[in-house]
Homo-oligomer: A and B are copies of this chain.
Amino acid sequence: MVIATGTLLLALPVASETGQPVKIVDALFTATSATCVTGLITVDTPTTYSLFGEIVIMALIQTGGLGFMTLSTLVALLLGKRITLKERLVMQEALNQLTVEGVVRLSRYVLFFTFLTEGLGALLLGLRFSRDMPPGQAFYFGVFHAVSAFCNAGFSLFSANLMDYRGDLLVNLVITALIILGGLGFSVVADVYTKRSWQRLSLHSKIVIRTTMWLIIIGTLMFLALEYTNSKSLAPLPLGEKVLASYFQAVTPRTAGFNTLNIGDLRPVTLLLIIILMFIGASPGSTGGGIKTSTFTTIAVAVWSIIQGKCDIEIFGRRLPRGTVLKALAVASVSLLLVVTVTGIMLVTEQEEMEIILFEVVSAFGTVGLSAGLTPQLTVAGKLLITATMYSGRVGPLTLAFAIAQRLGRQGIKHYPEEGVIIG
């Protein structure tokens, strides 16, 4: 319904820069991309849409981002741990407790946190942009980009995205801070706010924060190493700008979709790095997509434990429940299957190398919105596939969580005898 309203509004003549109404299919694509905070575009935002159109887009991003964040936080709180029998009993209490007032209160906290963060970001960005344009426009640009960054949407009012601010420390830091805060998930932010001590944080918060930190550090260093001598990207830049651009490009695939370098100019191996980062994505209960940081770390820790021959999967002095590991395995496997299947089909429908197709598919799956250049040349079948992948990537993990939770309890308690199988 939000998408339908958005499409209608964007198709009005008043939403268009030229007065000539935007094509309905492009209006639909833009509305969907904005509401799903993906950021893929078929038409250039600033030159196609008027001020009115841009504000509609911003409203759609904000609605989509907030709605998804609240909804996914709720689902995460309600169903996140609902796997083991013991937890299922605890959960039923929680379900009884979480009444309409509870949801309203949660939504109010989410709203407050969102507007506070976006407001601060908008103010800083506005001050910076006012050096390049009139103050009114500067603060409007500040608000738009703050909303787009916090909601991990990746829409920009600059036709060159943020490439012109590649070397600007303030813009880089503010945008990445908004992306990271939006991508941590509300429950983590709330946990940090209430506990104010690393030791007392929940295991989930510790994993999310530590994973996010290491992904950014390792991503930055690898990007820097791989692109250092690439004359089309980092080579011509001074050292500080090299580091800053590497940092920005390491943050943005998970899952903001802004860019300060041209993605199409990067080396194949760097595209592979970005594909991996996009696949991992942001954290649960956030505006971002992907399989999620907690899923990735759960699998990594499980694999490391089993290689060491440990029966327990341990991290930060806690044991991960069996259900958590299995759920992570399910989410990662289904996601991989989806990405590989869509890539396979698109190898038939599109005339392009596998790497470029894979990049586009993972970008759509993680609602990242980065493109190595394929989006504009997609065939009709390709457009439909990418749209379906975007949608699956957006609602998939949530639906999966719901489905798992709903079927729990329905099964009988019959246990089959156990028997081992030879692996590897």
Contacts and interface: CB of A to CB of B under 8 A. Distances in A.
Contact of A329 (B306, B397, B411): B306
B423 A80 contact: yes
A145 interface: no
Contacts of A267: 347-348
A226 to B, nearest CB: 8
Contacts of A84: 311
A309 B406 contact: yes
A101 interface: no
Contact of A318 (B80, B295, B418): B418
Contact of A353 (B298, B319, B354, B401): B354
A238 interface: no
A333 B358 CA distance: 19
Contact of A284 (B310, B397, B411, B422): B422
Contacts of A348: 226, 267, 269
B318 A419 contact: yes
A405 interface: yes
A325 interface: yes
A231 to B, nearest CB: 16
A298 B185 CA distance: 32
Given A309-B405, A318-B419, A284 B344 contact: no
In this complex, the member of A185, A276, A311, A404 whose beta carbon has the largest number of chain B beta carbons within 10 angstroms is A311
B353 A311 contact: no
Contact of A83 (B292, B319, B406, B420): B420
B81 A418 contact: no
Nearest to A299: B333
B284 A306 contact: no
A291 B320 CA distance: 25
Nearest to A343: B272
In this complex, the member of A187, A294, A398, A424 whose beta carbon has the largest number of chain B beta carbons within 10 angstroms is A424
Given A269-B347, A330-B307, A420 B87 contact: yes
Contacts of A334: 303, 307
A16 to B, nearest CB: 39
Nearest to A325: B326
A204 B422 contact: yes
Q: Contact size class for A?
A: 35 or more
A298 B422 CA distance: 10
The majority secondary structure among interface residues of chain A is helix
B307 A404 contact: yes
A410 B309 CA distance: 9
A353 B272 CA distance: 12
Contacts of A299: 329, 333
Interface in A54-81: 76, 80-81
A302 interface: yes
A354 B268 contact: yes
A285 interface: yes
A44 interface: no
A322 interface: yes
Contacts of A407: 308-310
A202 interface: yes
Contact of A423 (B202, B284, B314, B420): B284
8 contacts: A83-B420, A203-B421, A268-B347, A269-B345, A292-B424, A299-B333, A306-B326, A318-B417
Given A269-B348, A328-B424, 14 more contacts: A83-B420, A185-B422, A204-B422, A207-B421, A272-B354, A294-B421, A303-B333, A306-B404, A311-B323, A318-B418, A318-B419, A320-B420, A397-B424, A401-B423
* 5 shortest interchain CB distances as A-B pairs: A309-B407, A81-B420, A397-B424, A80-B422, A354-B355
Interface of A: 76, 80-81, 83-85, 87, 185, 187, 202-204, 207, 226, 267-269, 272-273, 276, 284-285, 291-292, 294-295, 298-300, 302-303, 305-314, 317-331, 333-334, 340, 343-345, 347-348, 353-355, 358, 397-398, 400-401, 403-411, 415-424
